[in-house]
């Protein structure tokens, strides 16, 4: 089953899904001091840290604008990420935070399943996402048991998943997780729903992702940071200075 959206405003989440439990958003965040290593050829370590935090703030802004969500959880042990989460009204959970993306989401899924909640998990590096995208995703999610997924733009990664119950399908994130997640859902007896959402499909892992992001207009913290950095790099190059690493 597939759905697509070009960015039109979404509708409220379907009532039949919400009867199965409240919907919680889960955002795993690694320690930002070592964030975005694959962008090291373009950005110094300090800028990559600020980039990770700006993207997280943009994602949390979008989630906070979705009234259908019962709450937001950021799974992290990073103090700066925790501060941003608290300012956005999110809870911070530490269990599984040092066990990578998969471990963080799995720990949160267990906790949410124990209270009968639905889990929406989304990475902290999709800064273009808007509340309308989240509503479209929730609207596409059927009554439990159900599994809904948004692929990355290359249809290799998994950029958002809704599970009801929260621990319905064993998740394993990575660069090639999309098709294995579809297979895992079917192995659990559930036909997955795929939703194509262009803004949500663009995560910022590779230099090409950064370039694709900068081609798209947005009023995000992430764009302001990168525009400022671009200006500083250009100024340094004209002055013959070294860009700090």
Q: What is the mean pLDDT of each run of 10 residues along the chain (245 residues)?
A: 37 37 95 94 93 98 97 98 98 98 98 97 98 98 97 96 98 96 98 98 94 95 92 51 44
0.85 exceeded by the pTM? yes
> Are β-strands 146-151 and 118-121 bridged in parallel, bridged antiparallel, or unpaired?
unpaired
Residues 5, 137: contact at Cβ < 8 Å?
no
Which residues does residue 93 pair with via DSSP β-bridges, in sequence order? 75
The answer as to whether 150 is a domain residue is: yes
Residue 156's pLDDT is what? 95
Residue 229's pLDDT is what? 87
**Which long-range contacts (C-beta less than 8 Å, at least 24 apart) are formed by 69-73?**
69/23, 69/24, 69/25, 69/120, 69/134, 70/22, 70/23, 70/24, 70/117, 71/22, 71/24, 71/25, 72/24, 72/25, 72/27, 73/24, 73/25, 73/26, 73/27, 73/108
Residues 6+ apart with CB under 8 A from 222: 51, 54, 55, 58, 127, 204, 213
Residue 204's pLDDT is what? 95
Residue 237's pLDDT is what? 44
CATH number of the domain where residue 60 is located: 3.90.550.10
Torsion of CA 102, 108, 110, 114, to 10 degrees: -170
pLDDT tens, position by position, 195-230 = 999 999 999 999 999 999 999 999 999 999 999 987
Q: Please count the structural domains in the chain.
A: 1
The answer as to whether 208 is a domain residue is: no
Look up tokens 């009532």; give the residue. Answer: 15
Residue 8's pLDDT is what? 32
Can you give the residue range of the structural domain that contains 156? 15-189
Residue 170's pLDDT is what? 98
With CA atoms as reference, report the closest residue to 224 among 75, 2, 80, 53: 53
The answer as to whether 236 is a domain residue is: no
Rounded-to-integer distance, Cα 124 and Cα 6, Å: 21
Residues 6+ apart with CB under 8 A from 87: none
The answer as to whether 181 is a domain residue is: yes
> What backbone torsions phi and psi does residue 222 show, to the nearest 5 degrees?
-60, -45
């Amino acid at each position: 089953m597939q759905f697509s959206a070009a960015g039109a405003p979404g509708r409220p989440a379907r009532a039949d899904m919400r009867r199965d439990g409240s919907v919680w958003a889960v955002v795993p965040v690694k320690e930002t001091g070592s964030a975005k290593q694959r962008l090291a050829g373009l950005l110094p370590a300090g800028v990559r840290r600020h980039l990770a935090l700006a993207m997280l703030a943009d994602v949390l802004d979008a989630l906070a604008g979705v009234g259908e969500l019962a709450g937001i959880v950021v799974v992290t042990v990073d103090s700066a990420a925790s501060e941003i989460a608290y300012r956005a009204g999110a809870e911070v959970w530490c269990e599984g935070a040092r066990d990578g993306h998969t471990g963080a989401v799995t720990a949160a899924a267990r906790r949410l399943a124990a209270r009968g909640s639905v889990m929406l998990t989304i990475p902290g590096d999709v800064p273009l996402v808007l509340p309308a995208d989240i509503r479209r995703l929730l609207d596409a999610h059927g009554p439990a048991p159900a599994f809904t997924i948004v692929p990355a733009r290359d249809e290799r990664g998994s950029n958002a998943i809704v599970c009801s119950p929260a621990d319905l399908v064993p998740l394993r994130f990575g660069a090639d997780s999309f098709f294995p997640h579809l297979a895992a859902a079917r192995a659990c007896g559930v036909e997955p729903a795929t939703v194509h959402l262009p803004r949500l499909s663009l995560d910022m892992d590779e230099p090409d992702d950064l370039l694709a992001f900068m081609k798209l207009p947005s009023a995000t913290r992430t764009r302001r940071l990168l525009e400022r950095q671009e200006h500083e790099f250009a100024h340094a190059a004209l002055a013959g200075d070294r860009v700090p690493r």
